[in-house]
Amino acid sequence: MLKCDIPTSEIAKGLKGRDLLTLLDYTSEEISYLLNYANQMKKNMLLGDMPPILAGKTLGMIFEKHSTRTRISFEVGMNQLGGQAMFMNARDMQIGRGESVYDTGHVLSEYLDGVMIRANSHEMVKELAEHSTIPIINGLTDIYHPCQALADLLTILEVKGSLAGYKLVYVGDGNNVAHSLVIAAAHMGMHVVVATPQGYEFNPNLLVKAKAIAEANEGSVLETTNPVEAVTDADVVYTDTWTSMGQEEEAAKRLEEFKDFQINDELVAYAKKDYMFLHCLPAHREEEVATSVIDGPNSYVFQQAGNRLHAQKAVLASLL
């Protein structure tokens, strides 16, 4: 489905034991490999073929924030791969009352085969990875959400049959989900447009990096504050909440400042007829997206949420 010129055995060897923090340090071939692997695993599962590749392995899952999809899909994924997952609320761990990240990383590496962590600070996750000898998988930080991006691309791949050359438009807050989506799509040679209100732009350093990745893969990344211009002729229209976890006190101000960036029937009329609507969820109907769009015929949000399971199983099987 996706072109990959390097032998898969070479790529598989290179992924073993790695962290998954941002996707910036993954090659386009490695991302293609993970998407192809996820696609194959999903097909095999539907045929009842689920080899216990991770029998005897345990994934620790640390959460500093709420989660439905990430927690459940990782836990189910580990079970389906023959291993087990252990949920840990960061507040209940000693790290929640001041134990160092250094000690925590060293200690967890004695028990576990990998850690998936959802944290407030990306810097903390980086530090944990530096002091751990097991793979650390980012389950969302203030800057990135790489596992979400893999599921997003897997969904587009399933529907469109390929990724390179398609126009993917992200409308809304230049947040963690946007950063990872754009980096991953750039790797796959997509034409990406990011439309945000002024003051809520995509991280400028990451924009430079994403543009360079896209150019190397014959894709492109553009930024605008005009949602109509962005969505015109889009193959995929993506949005996320205007108020991420931890920003609740800004909610009223954001509702006002994002109001022209809602994905509604008027806006998607500029997209291609067979456009796909995607949202990482949780969604806020009648805020970032009109009910008629998210519950309409072009919406793939539940298939997308389901693909968290398959994309992450490919990550777990490859890294652990």
- Is 285 known to be catalytic? no
Cβ-contact 239, 200 below 8 angstroms: no
Residue with the closest Cβ to ligand CP?
A: 70
Partner from ligand CP, ligand NVA, none contacting 176, C-beta within 5 to 8 A by type: ligand NVA
Residue 37: helix, strand or coil by DSSP? helix
CB atoms within 10 A of CB 217: 17
Nearest to 118 by CA among 91, 155, 154, 81: 91
Tokens of 61: 């899952």
Binding of residue 155 to ligand CP (CB under 6 A) = no
Closest approach of ligand NVA to the CB of residue 251, in Å: 12
- Is 240 known to be catalytic? yes
Question: Site for ligand CP (CB under 6 A): which residue of 28, 39, 148, 243?
Answer: 148
Residues forming a β-bridge with 267: none
The contact mask relative to ligand CP for 268-307 (x = CB under 6 A, - = no) is ------------xx--------------------------
Cβ-contact 264, 301 below 8 angstroms: no
Given 191, 308, 310, 312, the catalytic residue: 308
Opening angle at CA 207, ends 319 and 14, nearest 5: 20
**Closer residue to ligand CP in complex, CB, 148/262:** 148
Which residues, other chains included, contact 234 with Cβ-Cβ below 8 Å and sequence gap of 6+?
167, 168, 169, 193, 270, 271, 272, 275
Residue 85: helix, strand or coil by DSSP? strand
Binding of residue 244 to ligand NVA (CB under 6 A) = yes
Question: Site for ligand NVA (CB under 6 A): which residue of 4, 50, 88, 245?
Answer: 245
- DSSP letters of 198-233? TTSPPPHHHHHHHHHHHHHTT-EEEEES-HHHHHTT
Cβ-contact 21, 128 below 8 angstroms: no
Amino acid occupying residue 112: L
Tokens of 4: 């990959």
Partner from ligand CP, ligand NVA, none contacting 68, C-beta within 5 to 8 A by type: ligand CP
The contact mask relative to ligand NVA for 134-153 (x = CB under 6 A, - = no) is ------x-------------
Q: Which stretch binds ligand CP (CB under 6 A): 50-58, 64-72, 86-94, 288-296?
A: 64-72
The contact mask relative to ligand NVA for 26-55 (x = CB under 6 A, - = no) is ------------------------------
Q: Which stretch binds ligand CP (CB under 6 A): 63-71, 122-130, 168-176, 288-296?
A: 63-71
Given 113, 122, 142, 148, the catalytic residue: 148
Q: Show contacts with ligand NVA in window 280-299 (CB under 6 A).
A: 280
Closest approach of ligand CP to the CB of residue 132, in Å: 22
- Is 308 known to be catalytic? yes
Nearest to 114 by CA among 61, 73, 150: 61
Q: Show contacts with ligand NVA in window 172-231 (CB under 6 A).
A: 175-177
Binding of residue 140 to ligand CP (CB under 6 A) = yes
Total number of residues that touch ligand CP (CB under 6 A): 8
For 85, phi then psi, to 5°, come to: -125, 145
Given 118, 254, 279, 310, the catalytic residue: 118
Cβ-contact 26, 187 below 8 angstroms: yes
| Residues at the interface with ligand CP (CB under 6 A) | 67-70, 140, 148, 280-281
